[in-house]
Amino acid sequence: MMKSFETNGAFQDNYKFLIGSILPRPIAVVSTRNDDGTNNVAPFSFFTAVSAKPMIIAFCPMIRSATGEMKDTVKNIYREKEFVINIFSEELTQKINLTSTELPYGEDEFKFAGLTPIASEKIKAPRVLECPIHFECIYRDHISYSDQPGGGQIITGEVVRVHIDERIIKDGRIVTQELKPVGRGAGNDWFKTDHVFELERLMVQQIQK
Ligand SMILES: Cc1cc2nc3c(=O)[nH]c(=O)nc-3n(C[C@H](O)[C@H](O)[C@H](O)COP(=O)(O)O)c2cc1C
């Protein structure tokens, strides 16, 4: 038997269903500049790659359910038109979790979590030194679906420069086991990626006799 439901009930029920079904989710650590020049950083797991050239990536912040306001990251991106998406390794998980604390606007989550901001090369938003991959992004566009609690939006950025820690590269490729990415699950669940397996795709030439 399948249980079925409509999606016009409480947003919390829809949210729980989404985060329990769409997983494991990759995590974007988004760093931006506040209006007084201080730094802001927060994780977002509604996150994906969109286009290889132009290189476009997207993440989807929701309206803050406690206050009905846009998150600080979003305010900063709309004003500054730029942001960095950082990818972190497993050993940084505790600190990245701390960056999700809903501090008042202008309070620096880098300091709160013990992370180090470093200058980007093409934009003013800072990068996270401790992360092995940085995407410097120029804001491209967004679509907002609701400004009410539970409402989400998609924000895309064009990546204008990438940085990779050489220690996670071998023969020109990123080695997953060296990157040790972490995923997000339902509730407070996270995923480690220490069991990687390979499977070749069946190409159309192989099935045509
Ligand atoms: C692993 C993880 C993933 C998260 N993913 C999202 C997300 O996809 N969308 C969202 O709106 N909030 C997400 N959050 C919550 C935000 O990080 C949190 O609201 C944060 O305070 C936003 O910071 P800001 O106000 O500085 O932008 C996530 C939190 C964690 C720990």
Q: Is 10 left (phi over 0), alpha (psi -120 to 50) or beta?
A: beta
Identify the residues whose C-beta falls under 6 Å from ligand 1. 27, 40, 42-46, 60-62, 71-73, 97, 100, 102, 184
Residue whose Cα lies nearest atom 9 of ligand 1: it is 61
Place of tokens 């999700």: 100
At residue 209, the pLDDT reads 62
What confidence category does residue 81 fall into, taking pLDDT thresholds of 50, 70 and 90? very high
Output the residue whose Cα is nearest ligand 1's atom 5: 44
Residue 101 has pLDDT above 90, yes or no: yes
Q: How far apart (Å, rounded) are the C-alpha atoms in residues 101 and 89?
A: 19
Query: In this model, does residue 54 exceed pLDDT 80?
Result: yes
Is the whole model's pTM more than 0.85, yes or no? yes
User: Which one of 100, 131, 155 would you pick to mutate in the ligand 1 pocket, going by the greatest count of ligand atoms within 8 A of its CB?
Assistant: 100
Average pLDDT over the chain, rounded to an integer = 96
Higher pLDDT, 209 or 39: 39
As a CATH number, domain 11-207 is 2.30.110.10
Q: How far is the CA of 124 from the centre of ligand 1 (A)?
A: 22
